[in-house]
Chains A and B, each alone.
Chain A
Amino acid sequence: MTTKNEPGKTYLMQGNEAIVRGALEGGVHFASSYPGSPSSQVLGMLGHIAEDQGFRAEWSTNETTALQSCMGASFANGRAICIVKQNGLLFHGDTIHCGALGGVKGGLVIVSSDDPDSHSSTNEFDSRHMAVSANIPMLEPASVQETKDMIPYAFELSEELEQMVLVRVTTRICHGRGSVTLGEIPEKRPFTPIGLWDRMVGINWLHGFLLEKLERAREAFEVSPFNHYTGKEDADKLIITGGTGMKYVQEALEEYGADGEVGVLSLGCLWPLPEKLILKHLSKASKVLVVEEVDPFLEEHISAIAGKARLNVEIQGRADLIPSIGELNPEVVFKAVREYLGVEPKCCGEGCPAIEGVNIPARELTFCAGCPHRASFFILKQALRQEGHKGVVMGDIGCYTMAGQRAGQYGYHFMSCMGSGISAAEGLGQLTNYGFDQPVVSLCGDSTFFHSVVPGLINAKMNEANILHIVLDNSATAMTGFQPHPGTGQTAMGFETEKISITALCESLGCRVWRADPFDVEETKNLICKLIGMKGLKVLILEQPCATLAAKTREKKKVWVDTDICRGSNCGCDGYCSRVWGCPGNIWDFEKNCAAIDEVVCVGCGACASICPSGAIKVEGGDAK
Chain B
Amino acid sequence: MMTNVVICGIGGQGNILASGLMGSALVEMGYKVAVGETYGASQRGGSVMSHLRVSDDVERGVLIPHGKADVVVAFEPVEALRILRVYGNPETKVIYDTRPAYPLGVLIGEDEYPSLEDIDAEIKARSSVSYPLPATEMAVEAGNAKVANILMMGALAALDEMPLGPDDFFKVLEQNFHGKALELNKEVFMVGYRRIKEGGAK
Interface positions of A (Cβ within 8 A of B): 10-12, 14, 119-120, 143, 172, 175-179, 244, 247-248, 250-251, 255, 329-331, 334, 348, 351-353, 355, 357-368, 399, 402, 406-407, 479, 481, 548, 575, 578-580, 582, 584, 586-588, 600-601
**What would be 17 A-B contacts, judged by CB atoms less than 8 Å apart?**
A11-B24, A12-B26, A14-B20, A120-B39, A177-B20, A179-B32, A179-B59, A331-B66, A358-B118, A361-B103, A362-B111, A364-B104, A365-B40, A368-B45, A548-B43, A578-B109, A584-B102
Q: Is the CB of A353 within 8 A of B43?
A: no
Q: Is the CB of A352 within 8 A of B61?
A: no
What is the minimal beta-carbon distance from A44 to any residue of chain B, in angstroms? Answer: 15
Chain A residues with CB under 8 A of B182 = none
Q: Could you say which of B85, B102, B104 has the most chain A C-beta atoms within 10 Å of its C-beta? A: B104
Q: Could you say which of B20, B45, B59, B102 has the most chain A C-beta atoms within 10 Å of its C-beta? A: B45
Q: Is the CB of B46 within 8 A of A363?
A: yes
Q: Is the CB of A363 within 8 A of B109?
A: no
Q: What string of 1s and 0s marks CB contacts (under 8 Å) between B24-47 and chain A?
A: 101100001111111111011111
- Assuming the A-B contacts A177-B20, A357-B122, are A365 and B61 also in contact, with contact meaning beta carbons closer than 8 angstroms in the complex? no
Chain A residues with CB under 8 A of B65 = 251, 255, 330-331, 334
- Assuming the A-B contacts A178-B33, A355-B125, A600-B136, are A172 and B113 also in contact, with contact meaning beta carbons closer than 8 angstroms in the complex? no
* B142 touches A (CB below 8 Å): no
Q: Is the CB of A353 within 8 A of B126?
A: yes
* B3 touches A (CB below 8 Å): no
Q: Is the CB of B82 within 8 A of A360?
A: yes
Q: Is the CB of A366 within 8 A of B45?
A: yes
Chain A residues with CB under 8 A of B112 = 359, 361
- Closest chain B residue, CB of each to CB of A255: B65
* B108 touches A (CB below 8 Å): yes
What is the minimal beta-carbon distance from B42 to any residue of chain A, in angstroms? Answer: 8
**How many residues of B sit at the interface, in one of the four size bands?**
35 or more
Chain A residues with CB under 8 A of B103 = 361-364
Q: Is the CB of A362 within 8 A of B107?
A: no
Interface of B, secondary structure class, is mixed
Chain B residues with CB under 8 A of A244 = 61-62
- Assuming the A-B contacts A251-B61, A331-B65, are A366 and B104 also in contact, with contact meaning beta carbons closer than 8 angstroms in the complex? yes
Q: Is the CB of B107 within 8 A of A247?
A: no
Name the one of B61, B63, B67, B114 contacting A358, with C-beta atoms under 8 angstroms.
B114
Q: Is the CB of A361 within 8 A of B78?
A: yes
Q: Could you say which of A177, A329, A399, A584 has the most chain B C-beta atoms within 10 Å of its C-beta? A: A177
* B101 touches A (CB below 8 Å): yes
Name the one of A176, A351, A355, A407 contacting B35, with C-beta atoms under 8 angstroms.
A176
Please report the C-alpha to C-alpha distance between residue A251 and residue B64 in the assembled complex, in whole angstroms.
10
* B105 touches A (CB below 8 Å): yes
Chain A residues with CB under 8 A of B140 = 600
* B23 touches A (CB below 8 Å): yes
Name the one of B34, B67, B105, B107 contacting A348, with C-beta atoms under 8 angstroms.
B67
